[in-house]
């Protein structure tokens, strides 16, 4: 019962699942948040329990304030606290800006930017030493596209990630004296199933050979390892920082 407690939004697949599993291996109890994939979330939870850790799965759309409130109520009741929040949930609807419909734009912004703002608010209320908490760490999963505006068709997504970076810098300064560290990670090209919605995973892997200085795409484990380091005491002097875990991808794209 003394284990640290971590919430991973969008924890049922790919990067989120990798974070949950590595965190469990390193001694965390986990709340696996998911939007729709209940069975996959439970599979992740079972892997967490296989490491002898507690796990709960909670369905919640992070773009909906009332569902975020219910998510944190479940954590309070069933896990008893929160030490680390990982804002991982995110979506992209690829389309040129001129042709993108308002509903999709709002959904991208509400999931990728409003969601982390609201979950961070709830986490601060529980973590802040000025509010009776024990401190904690918040890690926002951004994107290397936030640096350069993304590829054609992905501009709205990139804009939300740039906004998330700015939010990370600002709120970290607000709560630095309250025992809370807030950092971010910008993944580059990572081999996840999301590529199947645009280009094939095989095409993405091939692209990584020429579009990434290290000559390969990353794996979810690469992001999970960085998350667990930022959450650890080894990174205790880190806050208001967003680090690139991209194989050097930003060196091959325009950044300003």
In eight-state DSSP terms, residue 128 is -
- Give the start-to-end residue ranges of the domains of the chain: 5-252
Give tens-digit pLDDT for 167-193. Answer: 999 999 999 999 999 999 999 999 887
Give tens-digit pLDDT for 96-126. Answer: 999 999 999 999 999 999 999 999 999 999 9
pTM: 0.96
DSSP 210-256: HHSTTSS-B-HHHHHHHHHHHHSGGGTT--SEEEEESTTGGGGS---
Checking if the pLDDT of 151 tops 90, the result is: no
By annotation, the residues acting in catalysis are 157
The alpha carbon torsion through 209, 212, 215, 220 (nearest 10 deg) reads -100
The verdict on domain 5-252 having CATH code 3.30.360.10 is: no
């Amino acid at each position: 019962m003394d284990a640290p407690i971590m919430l991973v939004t969008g924890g049922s697949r790919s990067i989120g699942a990798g974070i949950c599993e590595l965190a469990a291996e390193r001694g965390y109890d986990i709340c696996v948040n998911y939007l729709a994939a209940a069975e996959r979330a439970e599979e992740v939870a079972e892997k967490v329990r296989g490491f002898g850790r507690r796990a709960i799965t909670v369905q919640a759309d992070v773009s909906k304030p009332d569902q975020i409130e219910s998510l944190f109520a479940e954590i309070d009741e069933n896990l008893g606290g929160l030490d680390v929040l990982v804002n991982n949930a995110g979506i992209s609807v690829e389309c040129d800006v001129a042709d993108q419909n308002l509903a999709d734009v709002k959904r991208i912004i509400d999931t990728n930017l409003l969601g982390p703002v609201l979950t961070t608010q709830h986490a601060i209320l529980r973590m802040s030493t000025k509010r009776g908490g024990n401190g904690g760490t918040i890690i926002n999963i951004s994107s290397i596209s936030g640096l350069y505006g993304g590829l054609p068709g992905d501009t709205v997504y990139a804009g939300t990630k740039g906004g998330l970076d700015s939010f990370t810098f600002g709120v970290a300064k607000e709560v630095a004296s309250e025992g809370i560290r807030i950092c971010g990670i910008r993944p580059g090209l990572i081999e996840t199933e999301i590529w199947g919605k645009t280009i094939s995973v095989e095409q993405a892997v091939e692209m990584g050979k020429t579009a990434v200085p290290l000559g390969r795409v990353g794996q979810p484990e690469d992001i999970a390892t960085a998350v667990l380091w930022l959450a650890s005491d080894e990174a205790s002097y880190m806050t208001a920082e967003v680090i690139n875990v991209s194989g050097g991808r930003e060196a091959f794209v325009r950044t300003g």
